Amino acid sequence: MGFWKRFLRDPIAVTGLILVLVFFVISIFAPIIAPYDPNTINVDCILSAPSMTHIFGTDELGRDVFSRMVYGAGISLKVGFVAVGISVAIGIALGSIAGYYGGLVDMAIMRLVDIMLCFPSFFLILTVIAFMEPSIFNIMAVIGLTSWMGITRLVRAEFLSLKERDFVLAARAMGASNLRIIFIHILPNAMAPVLVTAALGVASAVLTESALSFLGIGVQPPTPSWGNILTQGKNVLGLAWWLSLFPGVAILLTVLGYNLLGEGIRDATDPRLKK
């Protein structure tokens, strides 16, 4: 039974996929879905409650919250995908080298991983951001550059297991180069746990971006993100509950979707579950 058949038989995995696709479609078609410009100020409807005109209400500047959340979905998911892309690229490169070559190279790379793991990731991100200008590009880079250690360990473990398999020994006996063996023969067989970790990593990156924006050192206004909408809601929680509720639910559903998707991919690729 193929991967997709196993995946689609799992209702939890399908639920995660649907949630991910919904937010992905919203982020792509934001200019069509959003009824208003997210940065248009309207002093006549400041902190208006949800209504037919503004279904998620307005903020302290009279901006439509639904429109800002629709555009914020694209910002949050962009941060998640780019940050994970950076961490996966670094993790695959270092993990492949460490697992394939072993010896001193492996020792040096794994000691670097151990050193990086000594620092709490979120506080390391806060420290780096404190010395840089807060922007979406810096946020993506910093999250990606501080979250590659787990993928490095996973890829290294897979390479240590696979490099002595018969198909690798046969390729080496036929004169295949090290690069060909790494990228053609071993790496494709080591990607299953990487895909699971990447899906979970997007959820973690979205959550980290939201937390940084909530603290005021992430995506800066007037660019909308779910985190800075939450920050606005914190200041007027007793008057405008919708500024905290709706972005909080969006973050919850996004993180839940990617976690369920990651679990579904793990179960569908686990050979012990194949029937």
Cα separation of 273 and 267, whole Å?
Answer: 7
Distance of CA 185 to the CA centre of its chain: 28
Interval 13-58: pLDDT, tens: 899 999 999 999 998 999 999 999 998 888 888 888 899 989 999 9
Interval 146-156: pLDDT, tens: 889 999 999 99
Confidence (pTM)? 0.85
Cα separation of 210 and 207, whole Å?
Answer: 5
Highest mean pLDDT (candidates 74-78, 150-154, 204-208, 237-241): 150-154
Res 20: pLDDT: 92
Res 272: pLDDT: 53
Res 91: pLDDT: 93
Res 273: pLDDT: 52
Q: At what angle do helices 242-269 and 191-214 cross, to 10 degrees?
A: 170
Choices 1.10.3720.10, 3.90.105.10, 3.20.20.70, 3.60.21.10: CATH for 3-273: 1.10.3720.10
Using CA atoms, how far residue 209 sits from 12, 102, 237, in Å, is 26, 35, 21
Burial of residue 174 (number of CB atoms within 10 Å: 0-12, 13-18, 19+)? exposed
Q: Is 10 left (phi over 0), alpha (psi -120 to 50) or beta?
A: beta
